[in-house]
Amino acid sequence: MLTVEGLEVRLGSKVVLEGVTFTAGRGLLLIAGPNGAGKSTLFKAVLNLLPYRGKICVDGVCGPERVRHIGYVPQRIQIEAPATVWEFVYIPTRLRGARDAAERAREALKLAGISELRDRPVAALSGGQLQRAAVARALATGGEVLLLDEPLSNIDPQGRIEILSLLSELKRERVVLMTSHELTLPSDLADRVLLLNRRVVAFGAPGEVLREEVLRRIYRYVRIARTPEGLVCATEDYGAH
């Protein structure tokens, strides 16, 4: 379980996050909000990548060592050197000191459904394949809590379907947090939704949060799009009031 209590993040004199409190258990927590709402900053705080006030714990581990239990997929995946898919997943796992790094990498590739791509250069992957390779690396290096920053951006419709299908499997045994500015697709997969705009605007089941009167608190424009479950979603991000 991930627990965040009274989180405050300042960048210079600017308050980016203030009084953010929530818990995330097994399942998928969708974190939504307009550009500049603090979604990526929240992930950086959880990963101990910037100073913050408050308390962040993973299964009761509240210090920097909690990061060992977290896998992270950034919004922009950097390919820093020529590497195969296997090297992309295995090497970071080994560098974290995992004695069973090879086994963890093999299992992660299997879970991500890309075992057959292990010898392919990462640079030759499609957008959806690269995203799954990044998920595999996150599973191998951490995996109990997964943080995915805008995993549906910059991939084609088929890649989106594959990622959502993968997340539907992973969330059964893990804590998965996913940010998105587009809500119609991931809302059907989410178990809980955190609506963020520097502070927590709403937190709860999708049916409680994804309502027009709630979304209009932070979106200047809400395009009405009803999912099969009847939820109202903001499908375009026009910034906060």
3-state class (DSSP) for residue 132: helix
CATH of the structural domain 2-215, one choice from 3.30.420.40, 3.40.50.300, 3.20.20.70, 3.30.70.3040 = 3.40.50.300
pLDDT attached to residue 238: 46
Cβ atoms within 10 A of the Cβ of 63, count? 9
85 Cβ contact list (under 8 Å, min separation 6): 109, 114, 117, 118, 119, 120, 121, 122, 125, 133, 136
Amino acid at 104: R
3-state secondary structure of 75: coil
Strand order across the beta sheet in which 14-24 lies: 14-24, 2-11, 53-58
> Is pTM beyond 0.75 here?
yes
Predicted local confidence at residue 183, as pLDDT: 74
Q: Hey, where are the domains in the chain?
A: 2-215
**Position 196: which residue type?**
L
- Displacement of CA 134 from its chain's centroid (Å): 12
Query: Tell me, what's the pLDDT at 80?
Result: 67
The series of mean pLDDT values per 10 residues for the chain, 241 residues long, is: 96 93 96 90 96 95 92 84 91 86 94 94 90 93 89 83 89 93 76 95 91 82 64 52 38
- Phi then psi for residue 229, to 5 deg, are -85, 0
How many separate helices (H) and strands (E) can be counted in the chain?
8, 9
